[in-house]
Amino acid sequence: MGAGAAGTMAAIFAAEGASTRSPRPEVLLLERTQDGGRKILISGGGRCNILPSAPDLARFVTDSSPKSLRNILKSWPVEEQIRFFNERLGLDLTLEVESGKLFPQSNKARDVRDGLLSLATALGVCTRFGVTVEDLEPPLVPGGDWQVVLAGGERIAASAVVLATGGLSVPNTGSDGTGLRIAAALGHEVHATYPALTPLTAKEPRHAALSGISLPVTLNARADGKRYSTAGGFLFTHKGYSGPSVLDLSHLAVRSRLAGGARQEITVQWTALDASAWEERLRAGGTAHVGTLVRRELPERLADMVLESAGVNGGTTASQLKRGDRQQLVAALTAMPLPWTGDEGYKKAEVTGGGVALNEIDPRTLESRRAPGLFLCGEMLDAFGPIGGYNFLWAWATGRAAGLGAVGTA
């Protein structure tokens, strides 16, 4: 159920597993939209960052056991995934060296979506687009059939079902949380969901005036006794802040907003220079104007904003800069609190945080421990990763395992 990244991969491997079984089970892929895989189409700015070249599994976020998460991912290591796309879909992957991201050589997300659906069809998967699954009824007797209930009342009997309907992010791609509702109704624990990898909003006019400026920064935060740091692109938008560094920390902000307590502090280091490097540069600046030294490292309008927030006149020479002013300026350059006020929610979120608890899923087959014959995969599970191909890595690995599990060949 669901012809997104996880569901289509599940169908491919279910069909492959089915071909070794006698009698051969039929594989049916049900999809609400007219063509499926709409998130793949908009992924990576239309280029589809299909995988990370060297994933750091510690960067995944889950409220379930990180060990369960790692066990699930072990089933299909990244090198094997790369080989799959290369050999089975004929897609050569190109490495973007500075980010470690892999993209199809054609830079066309459509090649990934169409390639997966074509492979599924070639393997005998029967696909029905434009059908919405409304409900799922478990077998009345152990080993009996599931009943898939479609909008309009049609019922389909199935010996096993793979739930791959995604989460709540970007609902106009077809995912509205149906699968989360169904899993909860079947007795699954669903960890509270929240938008993740979503832009933050702000009401600071001095920042709104910088809309369009982008630069690499480092963001820092401290939550639950842990230090979080992301380095990468940062973009001033007319609503607030976006770019990989912001998206990767946004869940901390979102969760603090949802918890209703103190707002999560996120600070920005605007340049590659840390506090001691700036301290040294300003001390050694002599007759150079402080404004000149700052503008050398930052776009002019941003440099002016930093100087203004530190209350420092850029026309002051470095040697005239008072100690207190120097400290204020160094703080504004290396640890400016980001005055975020909200976030752009699921409408813009690249993924859903939270979801079906991993400890209720067999890590090898992704079969539900609550409802045998039900297999769950993709974004609806309680895990997401940072920008960089991690979320497809999760969708491909869980989809494959669930597909093989569903035909009993995992």
Shortest distance (Å) from residue 401 CB to ligand FAD: 13
Which residue number, 44 or 403, has a Cβ lying nearer to ligand FAD? 44
Contact window for ligand FAD (CB under 6 A) among 27-35, 154-162, 279-287, 360-368: 27-35
Contact window for ligand FAD (CB under 6 A) among 173-181, 290-298, 332-340, 365-373: 173-181
HEC readout, 69-123: HHHHHHCCCHHHHHHHHHHCCCCCEEEECCCCEEEECCCCHHHHHHHHHHHHHHC
CA angle at residue 350 from 348 to 352, to 5 degrees?
100
Structure tokens of 179?
């699968």
Among 75, 169, 198, 245, binds ligand FAD (CB under 6 A): 169
Give residues 325-364 in contact with ligand FAD (rule: CB under 6 A).
350-351
Among 12, 13, 16, 43, binds ligand FAD (CB under 6 A): 43
Reply yes or no: is the peptide bond before residue 23 cis, omega within 30 of 0.
yes
Among 17, 25, 36, 232, binds ligand FAD (CB under 6 A): 36
Q: For residues 337 and 352, what is the distance between their CA atoms, to the nearest angstrom? A: 26
Rounded to 10 deg, the angle between the 323-334 and 300-310 helix axes is 130
The answer to whether residue 132 forms part of the interface with ligand FAD (CB under 6 A) is: yes
Structure tokens of 53?
């070249």
Shortest distance (Å) from residue 10 CB to ligand FAD: 9
How many residues at the interface with ligand FAD, by CB under 6 A? 39
DSSP 246: H
CB 371 within 8 A of CB 138: yes
Shortest distance (Å) from residue 123 CB to ligand FAD: 18
The answer to whether residue 44 forms part of the interface with ligand FAD (CB under 6 A) is: yes
Shortest distance (Å) from residue 122 CB to ligand FAD: 20
DSSP-assigned letters across all residues of 345-370: HHHH-SEEEEEE-GGGB-TTT-BBSS
Of 133, 182, 195, 175, nearest in space to 40 by CA: 175
The one-letter code for the residue type at 360 is: E
Q: For residues 400 and 259, what is the distance between their CA atoms, to the nearest angstrom? A: 35
With H, G, I as helix, E, B as strand and everything else as coil, classify residue 28. strand
Give the contacts of 206 (CB within 8 A, at least 6 positions apart). Answer: 305, 308, 309
The answer to whether residue 33 forms part of the interface with ligand FAD (CB under 6 A) is: yes
The answer to whether residue 6 forms part of the interface with ligand FAD (CB under 6 A) is: yes
Contact window for ligand FAD (CB under 6 A) among 41-49, 207-215, 273-281, 337-345: 41-49
Shortest distance (Å) from residue 240 CB to ligand FAD: 17
Which residue number, 38 or 207, has a Cβ lying nearer to ligand FAD? 38
Q: How many CA atoms within 13 Å lie on the side-chain side of 51?
A: 25
DSSP-assigned letters across all residues of 192-211: EEEEES--EEE--HHHHTTT
CB 234 within 8 A of CB 302: no
Contact window for ligand FAD (CB under 6 A) among 35-43, 312-320, 325-333, 368-376: 35-43
Contact window for ligand FAD (CB under 6 A) among 32-40, 79-87, 311-319, 400-408: 32-40
Of 194, 116, 136, 187, nearest in space to 382 by CA: 194
Contact window for ligand FAD (CB under 6 A) among 4-12, 154-162, 201-209, 306-314: 4-12
The one-letter code for the residue type at 255 is: R
Shortest distance (Å) from residue 101 CB to ligand FAD: 8
Among 15, 29, 31, 358, binds ligand FAD (CB under 6 A): 31
The answer to whether residue 81 forms part of the interface with ligand FAD (CB under 6 A) is: no
The answer to whether residue 403 forms part of the interface with ligand FAD (CB under 6 A) is: no
The answer to whether residue 2 forms part of the interface with ligand FAD (CB under 6 A) is: yes
- Helices (H), strands (E): how many in the chain? 14, 19
Contact window for ligand FAD (CB under 6 A) among 2-10, 89-97, 115-123, 302-310: 2-10
DSSP 25: P
Binding mask 362-401 for ligand FAD (x = CB under 6 A): ----------------xx---------xxxx--x------
Of 177, 181, 103, 128, nearest in space to 3 by CA: 128
> Which residue ranges make up the site for ligand FAD (CB under 6 A)?
1-7, 30-33, 36, 38-39, 42-44, 48-49, 132-133, 164-166, 169-170, 173-175, 178, 350-351, 378-379, 389-392, 395
